[in-house]
Amino acid sequence: MTQTALILIDIQNDYFPGGSWEVDRMGTVAANAARLLGHARTTGDLVIHVRHEAGSDTAPFFRPGTSGAEINSAVAPQGAEAVVLKHRPNAFHQTDLLDRLRTAGVADLIVCGAMSQMCVDATVRAAADLGFKVTVVSDACGAKAASFGGMDVQASVVQAAFLAPLAMSYAKVVTTDAALSQR
């Protein structure tokens, strides 16, 4: 049984340039996630792709049955790699993710994907609360600019604002190069 799982969250076409909900630096995020994926495949780590699908055809992105809701080809699942379908930001919520991890004997999670301020954050916090040792790969995660209270917040600031508290209490936060050199 494997002790480590790579969780790739929502690296889906709608987040890329030309998609319905573009995330900053998504090409770089996917390239780094692909490096992590290649390494996991080589070492035999468990690989789980998480794919979000909206609950309505009128949603702004990840609409059911659209190419935008498909996992991007840069990190497409191969062979027996699992794809967990979710409908909420937390990939554990009403999915079989926890069962898959426990059945495989996983203790350590490496997490990458999008969006840092939504699905990555929600999933990492839940994973830590469930007792997993979590590593978040910062340059393999992407954030989207946001606005609140009349203030526009750049994607890089959103990224930092979410990864900093994760690093403080929920996960080890490292770059792709550091993650690969530690394994």
Active site residues: 119
Residue 172 CA neighbour count, 13 Å, CB half: 13
What's the one-letter identity of residue 120?
V
- Kind plus residue range of the DSSP H or E element containing 86: strand 82-86
Q: How many CB atoms lie within 10 A of CB 62?
A: 23
Cα 132 to Cα 124: distance, rounded to the nearest angstrom = 9
Report CA-CA distances (Å) from 29 to 25, 65, 75, 87, 166: 6, 24, 11, 22, 18
Burial class of 16 by CB neighbour count within 10 A (0 to 12, 13 to 18, 19+) = buried
Secondary structure class of 43 (helix, strand, coil): helix
